Copies of this chain bind each other. A is one copy, B any other.
Amino acid sequence: MTQPGDLRLAVGMVGGGPGSNIGIAHRTGLLLDDRYRLVAGSFARDAGRQAAMVAQLGIDSDRSYADFRAMAVAEAARPDGIDLAVVATPNDSHVEIVTAFLEAGIAVACEKPLATDSAGAAELVALAAERDLVLAVAHCYSAYAMVRHAARLIRDGALGDLRFVDVEHASGWASVLHEAAGNKQAAWRMDPDVAGYASVVADIGIHAFHLVRYLTGLEAEEVSAQLDTLVPGRRVADNATVALRLTGGVPGRLWASMAATGQAHGLKIRVFGADASLEWFHEDPQHLVVRRADGTETRYAQGMAGLSEDEARLNRVGMGHAEGFIEAFANYYSDIADELFARRDGVPVVHRELSYPTGTDGLVGIQFVEAVTASNAANSAWVRPVSKKAGQ
């Protein structure tokens, strides 16, 4: 663990090796604010790829690990061991890897989904609680400055009582049968044995669902879902429509798709209240649109004066200068860093209402995926997700 006075936390990474886009997003996000150093890693099972990665990143050879277990043990034993383990491996390995680091007393930031089922996720949440360790899950869309501002507006009552929520994460990347052409990203996502039949929900629907919870503070009480395979020849669901009944009976809906031909990324959310509604679209992340009951539509820009403190603290370069996906990752890691520094230095952790998603958030997401799967299997019957409390 780094020592008080050290400016940067030490990070180790598992997964995210050569060819992993998400590995790049994590590493650049970690570096952006210069609060972390990447000092250890087990990036790839293949020794040659591991060596290449370590060389490219300039990691000392004695902190290059062939195996995550060895890494957890060795880093825990070093006086300068890592403060945080970033896990970016395939989904089905998360539980054992996260467990290893938590058991070694090391905080973990894990890619979503936290586990392949809620039982596994609940174990991790319980373990982190028992060890009093940070366990974060990379639902990074909630780390955009204007998402934070939106969540603040809603909590402060700017929309009035909430009435309806509409969210979609509908991209077109897999409108072609990429898995038939050996595409690596597609291969595991379209394999029901790895990704589950509800692949599209576990992959991106879970992000959309997290955004609903993060913005509104509401939970899903019941879901009615339909899963479809839009691309002929595909073995998993690539499209999901879900009706939601949220806390207090607020209705909503969610659409997740990997086969929405022609759409790029496609994450968009609208929240409707008695007095106004708001809209945030991930492909224009530095703006937030608020529509009032009289029909005016007002767009707010990241970095402008007069927004909330939750927004302001996440600005780097000022109004009119777009910040994007990497900056969202940096925000996520910066929130984690705030807590890790405080813990290291023995000062009180400042609790922020709007901060990084935790293991519990990851667990609730998986419970949602399972409820969607169950509803679809029951011909769209309304299904109540297992409560996160029961799951812990």
- Give 16 new A-B contacts, CB below 8 A, not counting A8-B58, A34-B57, A265-B319: A32-B32, A159-B261, A164-B230, A164-B239, A224-B243, A261-B293, A262-B276, A263-B277, A266-B320, A285-B322, A294-B304, A295-B304, A298-B298, A321-B325, A326-B326, A381-B381
Residues A272 and B261 in contact in the complex (CB < 8 Å), given A21-B317, A172-B291, A321-B324: yes
Mark contacts of A230-246 with chain B using CB atoms, 8 A cut-off: 1 yes-contact digit, 0 otherwise.
11000000010101000
Q: Is the CB of A7 within 8 A of B318?
A: no
Q: Is the CB of A243 within 8 A of B226?
A: yes
> In the bound complex, how far is the Cα of B173 from the Cα of A294, in angstroms?
9
Residue A69 lies at the interface, judged by CB distance under 8 Å to chain B: no
Residues A263 and B291 in contact in the complex (CB < 8 Å), given A175-B274, A320-B282: yes
Shortest Cβ distance from residue A212 to the other chain B in the assembled complex, whole angstroms:
14
Q: Looking at the complex, which of A89-97, A250-258, A357-365 is the stretch in contact with chain B?
A: A250-258
Shortest Cβ distance from residue A97 to the other chain B in the assembled complex, whole angstroms:
23
The chain B residue with its CB closest to the CB of A33 is B28
The chain B residue with its CB closest to the CB of A7 is B58
Hey, which chain B residues are within 8 Å of A327, CB to CB?
Answer: 324, 326
Q: Is the CB of A316 within 8 A of B28?
A: yes
Q: Is the CB of A32 within 8 A of B21?
A: no
Residue A103 lies at the interface, judged by CB distance under 8 Å to chain B: no
The chain B residue with its CB closest to the CB of A38 is B34
Shortest Cβ distance from residue A61 to the other chain B in the assembled complex, whole angstroms:
14
- Contact surface of A with B, Cβ cutoff 8 Å: 7-8, 21, 24-25, 27-28, 31-34, 56-58, 159, 163-164, 166, 171-173, 175-176, 224, 226, 228, 230-231, 239, 241, 243, 251, 253, 255, 257, 259-266, 272-277, 282-286, 290-301, 304-306, 316-327, 379-382
Q: Is the CB of B276 within 8 A of A164?
A: no
Shortest Cβ distance from residue A24 to the other chain B in the assembled complex, whole angstroms:
6
Shortest Cβ distance from residue A233 to the other chain B in the assembled complex, whole angstroms:
12
Q: Is the CB of B291 within 8 A of A295?
A: no
> In the bound complex, how far is the Cα of B6 from the Cα of A216, in angstroms?
48
Shortest Cβ distance from residue A4 to the other chain B in the assembled complex, whole angstroms:
14
Hey, which chain B residues are within 8 Å of A316, CB to CB?
Answer: 24-25, 28, 326
* Copies of this protein, total: 4
Hey, which chain B residues are within 8 Å of A33, CB to CB?
Answer: 28
Partner of A323, one of B286, B296, B325: B325
Hey, which chain B residues are within 8 Å of A164, CB to CB?
Answer: 228, 230, 239, 257, 259-260
Residues A295 and B326 in contact in the complex (CB < 8 Å), given A251-B226, A316-B28: no
Q: Which 3 A-B pairs have the closest CB atoms?
A: A262-B291, A265-B320, A322-B324
Shortest Cβ distance from residue A290 to the other chain B in the assembled complex, whole angstroms:
7
Hey, which chain B residues are within 8 Å of A286, CB to CB?
Answer: 283, 322, 324
The chain B residue with its CB closest to the CB of A245 is B226
The residue in A166, A253, A272, A382 that gathers the most chain B C-beta atoms within 10 A of its C-beta is A272
Partner of A7, one of B56, B231, B260, B291: B56
Hey, which chain B residues are within 8 Å of A282, CB to CB?
Answer: 320, 322
Q: Is the CB of A230 within 8 A of B163?
A: yes
Q: Is the CB of B262 within 8 A of A297?
A: yes
Shortest Cβ distance from residue A120 to the other chain B in the assembled complex, whole angstroms:
28
Hey, which chain B residues are within 8 Å of A21, CB to CB?
Answer: 317-318
Hey, which chain B residues are within 8 Å of A379, CB to CB?
Answer: 381-382
> In the bound complex, how far is the Cα of B239 from the Cα of A7, in angstroms?
44
